[in-house]
Amino acid sequence: MAAAISRDDVRHIAGLARLGVPDDKLDTLVSELNGILAHMEVLQKVQSAGAAAEAEAQRTGMPLRLDEGPSVKLVRPISEIAPQTRSPDGAPMPAVIDGFFLVPRLATHEDAGDES
């Protein structure tokens, strides 16, 4: 099984997960994550190689749809997806321009002009 998680590991995975973890919380997280992962060690003793692939090949319990393509159009007007929601001036919400949802501007883009 993998080695214990270190402070650097927590920093690394926090970066991958786009989470800012302050230094004063690192030790607690190291302790908690190692505590949780210690309970996973039991899995290494189990002979299980290939079990998931075998189960998938024999999968009989879950009925599946016929493979005839999507039952609904993947691109639909917002009025069809969210017919009930309107902004105070009656426009569909969320706001859409040219088929794209509008999201709040980033502060770092404020000087980038209207076309950004």
CB of 99 to another protein, least distance (A): 15
DSSP H helices in the chain:
7-16, 26-38, 51-57, 78-81
Q: What is the Cα–Cα distance from 116 to 103, expressed in whole angstroms?
A: 12
The residue (of 46 and 115) whose beta carbon lies closer to another protein is: 46
Is there a contact between 7 and 30 (Cβ–Cβ < 8 Å)? yes
Is there a contact between 101 and 94 (Cβ–Cβ < 8 Å)? yes
Is there a contact between 12 and 21 (Cβ–Cβ < 8 Å)? no
CB of 59 to another protein, least distance (A): 10
CB of 114 to another protein, least distance (A): 18
The site for another protein (CB under 8 A) is made up of 1-2, 5, 9-10, 12-14, 16-21, 29, 32-33, 35-37, 39-40, 42-44, 46, 48-52, 54-55, 61-65, 71-72, 78, 81-82, 84-85, 93-94, 101, 103-104, 106-108
CB of 11 to another protein, least distance (A): 10
Non-local CB neighbours of 22 within 8 Å, separated by 6+ positions: none
